[in-house]
Amino acid sequence: MEVPAGFRRIDLPSNAFMNANGPVYVKEEGEALVIGLYVEERHCSSIGLCHGGMVMTLADLILTIGVNVQAKLSRFLPTVSVTCDFLGPAPKGAWLEARATVLRTTRNLAFAQGLLTLADQTPVARISGILKIGGEPDPAYSAERYLGPRKDP
């Protein structure tokens, strides 16, 4: 399967869960990110549709990584809450994209919402989340970590 133009494999820390469920791809859209994934058989339920747990995994990734990049936080952001409304199926072989928008940040929390869609923008899930902001900025969670070195305009 060919990855859509503009996407590249995202640099995520190696762990057994993401190693089993990736690869995940990323591209920039202005100040925001889009995270994408091909729905493979291993991501699917017994009826050949992307499992809700995989949809939630992609939702959590776009919330934590997208908020970090958009709000320029560069911090580990533990998920406090994620709400997901499943709107439609993502069949095996589909390209699934996730986008998020930061609604507000406070000293301790970030609030965001997003949408997961198929390549043709058909909605799959609507998400909202709250993330805990803590600690000092860490390059391990910077935009450069996920996107590579930034180009000066």
Tokens 């072989």: give the residue: 93
In a domain, 2, yes or no: no
Please say whether the beta carbons of 49 and 95 come within 8 A: no
Q: Residue 150: what pLDDT?
A: 61
Structural domain includes residue 3: no
Give residue 147's pLDDT band: very low, low, confident or very high (50, 70, 90): confident
Whether 42 is covered by a domain: the verdict is yes
CA of residue 145 relative to chain centroid, distance:
14
Enclosing domain of residue 23? 8-147
- The domain that holds 142 is classified in CATH as 3.10.129.10
pLDDT at 7 over 90: yes
Residue pair 119/4 in contact by the 8 Å Cβ criterion: yes
pLDDT in tens, 29-82: 888 899 999 999 999 999 999 999 999 999 999 999 999 999 999 999 999 999
Of the candidates 99, 85, 103, the residue with the CA atom closest to the CA atom of residue 35: 99
Kindly report the CA angle at 6 between 4 and 10, in degrees rounded to 5?
90
What pTM, to 2 d.p., does this model score? 0.90
Residue with tokens 């507000």: 104
Q: Work out the average pLDDT over 105-132.
A: 97
* Higher local confidence (pLDDT), 13 or 102: 102
**Spatial distance between the Cα atoms of 58 and 52, rounded to a whole number of angstroms:** 10
Share of the chain above pLDDT 70, in %: 97
Residue 140 falls inside a structural domain: yes
Residue 144's pLDDT is: 85
Question: What's the pLDDT band for 108 if we cut at 50, 70, 90?
Answer: very high
Q: Average the pLDDT over 88-105 and give the result.
A: 97
